Structure 1
Amino acid sequence: MRVEYRVLGPLEVLLDGVPVTVPAGRCRVLLGTLLLRANEFVSVDEIVERLWDGTPPSADRAGKTLHMVVARLRQALGAANCVRTRSGGYVAVIEPEQLDLLRFRAHLKAGEHAEATALWRGPVLANVPSESLHRDLVPALLEERLAALEKRIDDDLELGVAAELVPELRTLTHQHPVREVFWAQLMLALHRSGQQADALATYQEAASVLGDQLGVTPGPRLREAQQRVLAGEVSATAVLVPSHHHVPRQLPTALPHFVGRELELDRLDAVLASGQLVINGSGGIGKTSLAVQWAHRVAGRFPDGQLYSDLRGFDPTGAPVNPISTARDFLLALGVPADEIPAGTEAMLESYRVLLSRRRVLVLLDNVRDVAQVRPLLPGGSQSLAVITSRNRLRGLVTQDRAFQLDVLGPEESMTLFGGRVGAHRVAEEPAAAARLVELCAGLPLALAVVAARATLDQHPLGLLVEELEHAALDALDTDDPLTSVRAVFSWTFGWLSPVAARLFVLLGLHPGPDVTEPAATSLMAHPSGDALDELVRYSLINSQNGRYRLHDLMRSYAAEEAALRLSATERADAQRRFFDHLMHSALAATLKSDPLRQPITTPAPAPGAVVLAFEASTDADRWYAEERAVFGPAVVAAGEAGFDGHVWRTVWATRHFLLATGRWREGERLQRLAVAAARRADDLEGECRARRGLVSCLVPGREFDEAEHQLRAAVALDERLGDLIGLSNDLRGLAYLLARQGKHLRALDPLLRALDVAMRSGDRIELASVSASLAFVHHELGDHHEAAAHAEQARDMYLELVPDERDTVVASNRDTLGSIYRALGRYEEAEANYLRSVELQETLSYRHYQADTLVRLADMKRELGELDAARGYYLAALDVYDDLGNAQADDVRELLSSLN
């Protein structure tokens, strides 16, 4: 039984979600008085004062009437009665989560101001007629609400919300004209939404109101707001929010045979609002199915998109997903360019909360392990909603009315699910057998789905299936697993698979990632896997979506146990090697397309049976990287644990370009450190050197220059031991790059000149071209444009020889540098030609942000030359790209366009 009392609006009592009628008149006054003083003793004298508004009858008559009112109220409340008699008075005994007023104060204490203010539904006890109650008790509550509103709006302003607050604050300043905080907040909201004149006019209006009504001048909060407007201060987080053009649709496909859970769906509908809600329950009970079904049902209420992440909190083959990585993925999905995502963790999470505070987004966070894993991903503001599933209760994350404990399906719902899948006619033909199969599944949707699939595919009499499953259930009782019904169903169905499908199912227990592709499955088996995958899908042992196959985590646990039991150590190691070879060699092939000029590494041949993918273009490689990204991390960890250290550092080497290009340098840093450790375990000098150099690439974005230099100098020592001149030159270029990033361009020349000598001795044209391009950039920054031009032209000519179509990022970057050099030398036609070539290349390489940057430089040059129409055209082209990416630099370009007009 769930009872809820509400006083922050009309008086309401709910019993299991159904309103309880409270008699009008003195019954409501009595209950309202006790609830406003919940769990406190209230004397008879005070209650009499409230019931008769200060003019009670004789003491004897008042006492008798009060007894009648109490009795009538208790009778009306029934099971929801909370009124207890005490000597000389009464008390309402209330649990903290039962009364909205107590929840309001708990939210305030926890600093959850948006959640607190959301509980208010209107005037306090609007349907309770008591002048003394509204005179003596309600005003203090209204002050609590206003203080909470002030703090909630401060939170929103801090998160970067501005324009959305203006209408609300105009209403609040009208209703509470002498409350300075609302005036100050209105000024900042106007200012940060680009209405500076209105913001300053608001200060004058506030000063006039305060002078007329109170005879005072503006206080510190208002004066501070005025100074911030005059100083042009803008929220640091506001500029991080991209345009609204990116609307992600990440929800998994809803189940076609979803049945039951009507009560749960209705309860979810009843609490649909911003904030978060939690669905918890044991494994296999249908949490994800319910969450996905409901999310699709309400998706239309969240027009700015739906985000989804399986956080793998209980996956037996890998660590739970890092929420910081998920937040970065969400920002990318929402349209924030990779290089615009803040470097620091806190700044990135703040940017994520700011973005969701400005949008209406549904965020489905599946398989959450604990509160710590999910808290960084909760949306900010008061418009978005997070739906969370977990086997744990996640206490303290939500209030009782927003936590849903999912139980097994009842017999009727179970039969409906089973019958819907096997056909009503089969249930009608063997009702007793159907009922027994449902009983053996113990109301677990996962077990019911597998049994139904088996019954549908084999078309054996249901009675025969009962005999088999009962035998399997007896075997399952020997285990310690509490979900014996699921284990029994798995083992029973596994026995009916074809030998090839059964072998694949066992081998999937070795796969470390969240899902698997057909080429990966084929590599595990060393045998074509398409038919076996289809068979596993038909038996509901795996799910398929967009060419990827996923096991439920309980199913994965079972597969892993079977792999340990059925496969020898040699078989397991061979299968793992084939899978790691598939991933590593495919990643190396992708790198050849995405980063063709990169210094190659020594790589052993793939094992027989391992599938190595080929890629037609860099876009195909980038798409594959993105699809497999969630597999790389777990696979690298698993390879290290299994002793495949060479696969660790080579796979990480091959994925570095993609992780950096998409701004996932923290993820790259973690993997590079694993690569360094693996190479050192294997005493592999080449691997250690490459891993340390890769680690530098991931340290620089966070400006960790000291450690980056330490790693580079270690790489220099290793390359000198190896006699690798190309690697040594690469290391020296890295040292110069570190110095240039810190503005130390003159000091950067020394390692570059050393790199030039080493590269010339190596005779490697790619390295020579790269050193020349680096020298060009540094000389240009030092103002030595003629020397810079010579180096940049030399790099251009060598690149044309090495990559005739010039489709490489370093080639496009050198073209951009050459454009800037020619501009500085007054060779404007050549500058324009090189800028445009860089723009063309960046577009084909999907580096559109850099494309827009180059367009701006070209437009700047045209403006300086007085060619304003051409400048306007290039600025508009850049603006289109920035706007499409949601990049904040769009505002800068708009200002430049405005200055042209």
Structure 2
Amino acid sequence: MAVEYRVLGPLEVLLDGVPVGVPAGRCRVLLATLLLRANQFVSADEIVERLWDGSPPSIDRAGKTLHMVVARLRQALGAANCVQTGAGGYAAVVDANQLDLLRFRAHLNAGEHAEATALWRGPVLANVSSESLHRDAVPALAVERLTALEHRIDADLARGVAAELVPELRTLTTQHPLREVFWAQLMLALHRSGRQADALAAFHEVAVVLDEQLGVTPGQRLREAQQQVLAGDAPVRVAHQVPRQLPTALPHFVGREAELTRLDGVLGTRQPIAVINGSGGIGKTSLAVQWAHRVAGRFPDGQLYADLRGFDPTGAPVNPNSTARDFLLALGVPADEIPVATEAMLQSYRALLSRRRVLVLLDNVRDLAQVRPLLPGGSRSLVVITSRNRLRGLVTQNRAFPLDVLDQDESMVLFSGRVDADRVAAEPAAATRLVELCAGLPLALGVVAARATLDQHPLSMLVQELEHAALDALDTDDPLTSVRAVFSWTFGCLSPAAARLFVLLGLHPGPDVTEAAATSLMAAPAAEALDELVRYSLISFDGRYRLHDLMRSYAAEEAAHRLSADERAAGRQRIFDHLLHSALAATARSDPLRQPITTPAAVSGAVVLTFETNTDADRWYATERAVLGSAVTAAGETGFDGHVWRTVWAMRHFLLATGRRREGERLQRLALAAAQRAGDVEGQCRSRRGLVSLLVPEQKFDEAEEHLRAAVALDSLLGDQIGLSNDLRGLAYLLGRQGKYADALDPLARALEVAMASGDQIELASVAASLGFVHNELGDHVEAATWAVRARDIFLELVPDERDTVVASNRDTLGSIYRALGRYEEAEANYLRSVELQATLSYRHNQADTLVRLADMKLELGERDAARGYYHAALDIYDDLGFAKADDLRELLARLG
């Protein structure tokens, strides 16, 4: 005998495949109530509420009627009866395969969404008359079904199904107009069916619905779909990113109970900010990390962490704008969707955190100016700050948490927790004296405990050694003096290799160190030495090796004291070569058409990394950016001017692609100054051109022209034909940006002559592309087509996949040329190819400009709906980037109606 119960549609009971009649009215309500909570006892009181929709008769009458309903239902079900009586209630006891709702959920858990959705036969309990059931229980099931449908359609799209989905998705978006996922799936299905304009029109349609009914803009899923349509592909959606950036909490954290309790009071307040302040080494970061882990569960959207290096002895404090950009990336915002304009980017960051519950830990903050831009909007997210300054004016008194040194008892607990308790008990006086010598500083206590654990000498011997530490006379009233004494004492027990590495780390530009960098410093494998330094608590490891800023200061002192000038220069040469040549390798992978620079080979011992893919190269730049920036500054301060301009040259593509214009301009000016100091003509030319690429977008035309004309003179003197052609193209571009296209022909003619003489195909194709653009702007479209097609053909030979910014720009030019010649199909094809390429190259403002030109053409041809779709796509990009063009485009759309 096989029994099946169905609730995912009209209520049905089947016995060996034959329907069993369930009486209408209260019998169906009772069975439905129990089946929705299958295998759970439901109280008689709750059942009564359901049977009478919240208005039951007297208790006595309701109870008697309920017994009658149960008896009648059991009689009707017969052999299919599943109703059992329990203490104070009833349950429908069924096997997992007997009830469609249980099978539905089992399929969901197994990821079998097609099988799950196939079980639905219509509206849940369509033949059950119960206002309370349909109000309280059925809506949640409907949501489960819609979610399963979303997953099933995602799977269909991933399998390549497209056109077949459009009718279903049209119905779903009509029935559920505010469910953004269905709209995003409709856009992708339309696009994959060759209906890009319809896909963009669907985006515009849902944007209007969301604005009118909810007053919100399209969310991340819709925006991802829009970008996938514009890019010409439709990858499976990446899951929402939840960053987990908190450092590991200390395993032996002790004390600070009063501070932890006070910190708990910050939660749920209207100003969720806590500032922990105190001197270096006093345990601010440890306390902040400990508490952050304790409350992290309250912030389901993740935890962000940044060391702002406000007191780092080797470099400038971290720029908060750069940190905000990094946080946006960590929260899942694609790099090309982060606004270029600083204020727009910060607004985007604050707005995102105002919608999410995120814990933000800002470590080592220098001052108010550094931290204010990073404070989240709203009160949903929490920010925890550590600083040596009090940061008065940021928070009220009850949000400030000043730390003092640990008292003697707390210090002993910390020390004993890290050292064998039997040793401490055996030598209590020595243990007490060791703790006293650490002056209550957790940093010093950690180092001393590590030494005691590793060396296993009697504690009294360690006391004698520490008391005679050679660096400075001990003065326990000065925490810094005490901690330096501890460092000196511990340094003396290191192996020769570890001691050498620690001293060499004083030459590293910071803020953190990789094994490859350490190996370069030593000119020998560094893994074992690094492990030893970690064991002695002189450095820490969380994926990268880090030195406390006090430890870094001490390492720098030791480097100055123990290394000769030649040894310091050689160590710096190796680390600067490691960073420079690895950066050049990354750039060669990310920007293959870029003309190389003259670079001396890396010295022996410097590790040079290689990269298999563009993604690997970009990821390396992202993780090493802070080190590279510090290295540029350090190289300039120590006489390595060639490394300055070459490293900046290598970084330029990454900085432009990620919108870091201010950082890029600062570094380019350092590069130019370094090249001038060194009398390096090539460096001056490359640095000037790099600076121009950052000045022109800011409309600093006069200064840009000065740099370009100086570069022309220097490259002519140097005899660098490719460089000279590049300079001349830059001058033509600068003139064109000012509307002086006729004037731009002269430098381009000279550039063509030089490029042809050089025989370099990359430069020749680039000049041809520039000539195509300028002739088109001057109205000579036939001549423009000749040059642009020539450029396209050469580019296709050089980079068959066309993934290059110059190639994408030339495709855009071809679109405009064919549009002017009335060859509209060819124009649209080239515009769309340009949009597709630009979406993969992180230059979204160019993508938006191309979309506007395509929309203009569609409007001229009378295709108003397609034009609106492209205009709206461009408007979203301009809004994201904070471009003023957005307002003009908004007015145009208003006129279109």
TM-score w.r.t. length of structure 1: 0.66
Distance 1:900 1:742, change over 3 A: closer
Aligned match of 2:262 in 239, 262, 267?
267
- Output the CA distance in 2 between the equivalents of 1:851 and 1:323: 28
Q: Which sits farther off after the overlay, 657-666 or 753-762?
A: 753-762
- Render the CA deviation track for 1:815-838: whole Å, top value 9, x for unaligned: 343344445545455445545654
| Conserved 8 A contact 1:337-1:887 | no
Which residue of structure 2 lines up, in the alignment, with residue 684 of structure 1?
Answer: 680
- Output the CA distance in 1 between the equivalents of 2:878 and 2:706: 37
Which residue of structure 1 lines up, in the alignment, with residue 754 of structure 2?
Answer: 758
- Render the CA deviation track for 1:649-689: whole Å, top value 9, x for unaligned: 11111111111111111111111111111111111111111
Matches within 5 A, 1:328-727: 328-334=325-331, 349=346, 352-353=349-350, 356-357=353-354, 359-472=356-469, 476-477=473-474, 482-546=479-543, 548-727=544-723
| Conserved 8 A contact 1:336-1:887 | no
Aligned to 1:659, the other structure's residue is in SS state: helix
- The amino acid of 1:643's aligned partner reads G
- Output the CA distance in 1 between the equivalents of 2:666 and 2:502: 31
Aligned match of 2:813 in 811, 817, 821?
817
Aligned match of 2:790 in 794, 802, 815?
794
| Conserved 8 A contact 2:471-2:484 | no
- Render the CA deviation track for 1:696-738: whole Å, top value 9, x for unaligned: 1111232222211221122122222222222222112112222
Distance 1:270 1:854, change over 3 A: same
Distance 1:849 1:462, change over 3 A: farther
Give, in angstroms, the shift of residue 368 of structure 1: 1.9
- Output the CA distance in 2 between the equivalents of 1:849 and 1:305: 30
Q: Which sits farther off after the overlay, 800-809 or 716-725?
A: 800-809
Percent of paired sites with the same residue: 81
Distance 1:784 1:421, change over 3 A: farther
- Output the CA distance in 1 between the equivalents of 2:213 and 2:299: 34
In the alignment, structure 1 residue 736 sits paired with structure 2 residue 732: yes
Distance 1:830 1:849, change over 3 A: same
- Render the CA deviation track for 1:459-507: whole Å, top value 9, x for unaligned: 3343433333333289542899642331222112111111111100000
Aligned to 2:468, the other structure's residue is in SS state: helix
| Conserved 8 A contact 1:507-1:563 | yes
In the alignment, structure 1 residue 255 sits paired with structure 2 residue 250: yes
- Output the CA distance in 2 between the equivalents of 1:192 and 1:247: 29
- Output the CA distance in 1 between the equivalents of 2:860 and 2:454: 75
- The amino acid of 1:618's aligned partner reads N
Give, in angstroms, the shift of residue 853 of structure 1: 7.2
Matches within 5 A, 1:167-182: none
| Conserved 8 A contact 2:851-2:873 | yes
- Output the CA distance in 1 between the equivalents of 2:688 and 2:477: 46
Distance 1:743 1:365, change over 3 A: farther
- Render the CA deviation track for 1:596-645: whole Å, top value 9, x for unaligned: 21122111111111111111122211111111100122211111111111
| Conserved 8 A contact 1:594-1:808 | no
- Output the CA distance in 1 between the equivalents of 2:532 and 2:646: 34
- Output the CA distance in 2 between the equivalents of 1:811 and 1:763: 19
Give, in angstroms, the shift of residue 441 of structure 1: 2.1
TM-score w.r.t. length of structure 2: 0.67
- Output the CA distance in 1 between the equivalents of 2:849 and 2:292: 39
Which residue of structure 2 lines up, in the alignment, with residue 98 of structure 1?
Answer: none
Q: Which sits farther off after the overlay, 732-741 or 611-620?
A: 732-741
- Output the CA distance in 1 between the equivalents of 2:704 and 2:882: 31
Give, in angstroms, the shift of residue 318 of structure 1: 1.6
- The amino acid of 2:697's aligned partner reads P
- Render the CA deviation track for 1:190-222: whole Å, top value 9, x for unaligned: x999878999xxxxxxxxxxxxxxxxxxxxxxx
- Output the CA distance in 2 between the equivalents of 1:193 and 1:424: 68
Which residue of structure 1 lines up, in the alignment, with residue 198 of structure 2?
Answer: none
Aligned match of 2:277 in 260, 275, 280?
280
In the alignment, structure 1 residue 295 sits paired with structure 2 residue 310: no
Which residue of structure 1 lines up, in the alignment, with residue 235 of structure 2?
Answer: none
Which residue of structure 2 lines up, in the alignment, with residue 326 of structure 1?
Answer: 323
| Conserved 8 A contact 1:476-1:487 | no
| Conserved 8 A contact 1:585-1:612 | yes
Q: For structure 1, which runs of at least 5 residues remain unmatched after alignment?
A: 1-190, 200-238
Q: For structure 2, which runs of at least 5 residues remain unmatched after alignment?
A: 1-206, 216-222, 228-238
- The amino acid of 2:637's aligned partner reads E
Give, in angstroms, the shift of residue 305 of structure 1: 4.3
- Output the CA distance in 2 between the equivalents of 1:593 and 1:722: 28
Which residue of structure 2 lines up, in the alignment, with residue 222 of structure 1?
Answer: none
Distance 1:450 1:337, change over 3 A: same
- The amino acid of 1:540's aligned partner reads S
Distance 1:538 1:865, change over 3 A: farther
Give, in angstroms, the shift of residue 743 of structure 1: 4.4
- The amino acid of 2:400's aligned partner reads A
The two structures, once aligned, show a CA RMSD in angstroms of 4.2
Distance 1:342 1:708, change over 3 A: farther
| Conserved 8 A contact 1:340-1:887 | no
Matches within 5 A, 1:104-183: none
- Output the CA distance in 2 between the equivalents of 1:801 and 1:668: 32
Give, in angstroms, the shift of residue 304 of structure 1: 4.7
- Output the CA distance in 1 between the equivalents of 2:240 and 2:892: 23
- Render the CA deviation track for 1:575-606: whole Å, top value 9, x for unaligned: 00111111111111111111121122111111
- Render the CA deviation track for 1:522-569: whole Å, top value 9, x for unaligned: 1111111111111111111111122x2110001001101111111011
| Conserved 8 A contact 1:745-1:782 | yes
Aligned to 2:404, the other structure's residue is in SS state: coil
Distance 1:358 1:886, change over 3 A: farther
Matches within 5 A, 1:840-859: 841-842=837-838, 845=841
- Output the CA distance in 2 between the equivalents of 1:492 and 1:764: 61
- The amino acid of 1:323's aligned partner reads P
- Output the CA distance in 1 between the equivalents of 2:409 and 2:345: 48
Aligned to 1:483, the other structure's residue is in SS state: helix
- The amino acid of 2:656's aligned partner reads L
| Conserved 8 A contact 1:343-1:702 | no
Distance 1:561 1:478, change over 3 A: farther
| Conserved 8 A contact 1:455-1:465 | yes
Aligned to 1:609, the other structure's residue is in SS state: coil
